[in-house]
Amino acid sequence: MADNTNADVKRLSFERAIEELESIVKRLEEGKVPLEESVTIYERGETLKRRCEELLRQAEGRVEKITTDAAGRASGTEPLDVQ
């Protein structure tokens, strides 16, 4: 079942994954979920968190900064230095 869950999460968009993760956090913070279900949804939350981090890393890799020439005109792009 865990493999099916991981495959399901790998197809989620960032927005859908973060929405589900926020829902899980809210349920866990309310403290009204039975222990066994808490463990299950916590594990799903961890998988969703990793998916969001993966998608953010991919997005950062695609972001470029615009370079300019001496006159201040756009002359091209180069990878964004995220450090």
CB 12 within 8 Å of CB 20: yes
More confident: 59 or 80: 59
- What CA–CA distance (Å, rounded) separates 27 from 38? 9
34 within 8 A of 76, measured Cβ to Cβ: no
Among the listed ranges 1-5, 34-38, 46-50, 62-66, which one has the minimum average pLDDT value? Answer: 1-5
1 falls in which pLDDT band (50, 70, 90)? very low
Higher pLDDT, 12 or 59: 12
Find the domain containing 49 and state its range.
Answer: 2-79
What is the rounded average pLDDT of the residues 3-17? 86
Q: Percentage of residues in the chain with pLDDT exceeding 70?
A: 86
- The structural domain count of the chain equals 1
From CA 63, how far away is CA 29, in angstroms rounded?
A: 35
pLDDT score, position 2: 55
Q: Is the pLDDT of residue 40 over 70?
A: yes
Residues facing 67 on adjacent strands: 76
